[in-house]
Amino acid sequence: DSGVTQTPKHLITATGQRVTLRCSPRSGDLSVYWYQQSLDQGLQFLIQYYNGEERAKGNILERFSAQQFPDLHSELNLSSLELGDSALYFCASSADVASGNTIYFGEGSWLTVV
Amino acid sequence: AQSVTQLGSHVSVSEGALVLLRCNYSSSVPPYLFWYVQYPNQGLQLLLKYTSAATLVKGINGFEAEFKKSETSFHLTKPSAHMSDAAEYFCAVNIPGNQFYFGTGTSLTVIP
């Protein structure tokens, strides 16, 4: 158990809908990361937050947004969903943003868009 | 620019044989390098990491990796494969700001 908690574990929704994925980082970790894993694209970095502020952006679509709240949990919002958004979405956390810090992954949220 | 290349998306070895998973990196700054493992239906777990101390890094489950600056490589090895080693393995380079760039992964199959 990494200590990173993600909910829901599985989600099935229709095209055009909006979903929210939730992540609680490990106790004491200030930085949260979101990744998307799909068969054709591999593990793609979406976005990073540190202590409530956006730190870095990767290949995140404009239809997607995220935030980190004062209690350090984070949410990833996916809207106007398309079939191609079906993937495993991981949240990860690290103590801070110093280089070399290990990031710890949650077990992921499986999103299926039908 | 920073990037990671994992040679071989699928590797098969016999139980008891040597495991060698290849990773080459590109980094404009001295890198920190990581190997993660992903078992089916699970998240990624840290196997080991290199942070500029010893070039030979020992990790969990008998895995180790050697940082070779001249070859820009960080290959993962295990002397004797076990059935439980079957998983997806990811190499990653870590850059300032603690951002990670992951390779495309190598799926390891262990044949009994």
What are the tens digits of pLDDT across the range B14-31? 999 999 999 999 877 778
Of the partner residues B36, B43, B51, the one whose CB lies closest to the CB of residue A108: B43
Count Cβ atoms within 10 A of the Cβ of residue B79 and give its class: 0-12 exposed, 13-18 middle, 19 or more buried. exposed
Residue B18's alpha-carbon distances to A73, B28, B35, in angstroms, are: 42, 32, 17
In chain A, the residue whose alpha carbon lies closest to the alpha carbon of B104 is: A42
- Lowest-confidence segment of A96-100, B9-13, B63-67, B108-112 by average pLDDT: A96-100
In chain A, the residue whose alpha carbon lies closest to the alpha carbon of B50 is: A100
Among B3, B27, B47, B100, the residue to mutate for chain A (most A Cβ within 10 A): B100
Residue B46 to residue A104, Cβ atoms within 8 A: yes
A96 touches chain B (CB under 8 A): yes
- Residue B46 scores a pLDDT above 80: yes
Q: How do residues A8-31 score in pLDDT, each as one tens digit?
A: 999 999 999 999 999 999 999 999
Q: How far apart are alpha carbons B89 and B56 in whole angstroms?
A: 18
Residue B99 to residue A56, Cβ atoms within 8 A: yes
- Residue B2 scores a pLDDT above 80: no
Q: How far apart are alpha carbons B35 and B76 in whole angstroms?
A: 8
pLDDT at B106: 96
Higher pLDDT, B95 or A85: A85
- Lowest-confidence segment of A63-67, A97-101, A107-111, B43-47 by average pLDDT: A97-101
- Residue B1 scores a pLDDT above 90: no
Q: What is the DSSP letter of B80?
A: S
Q: How confident is the model at residue A92 (pLDDT cuts 50, 70, 90)?
A: very high
- Residue A100 scores a pLDDT above 90: no
- Residue B41 scores a pLDDT above 90: no
pLDDT at B111: 97
Residue A108: which H helix or E strand, with range?
none
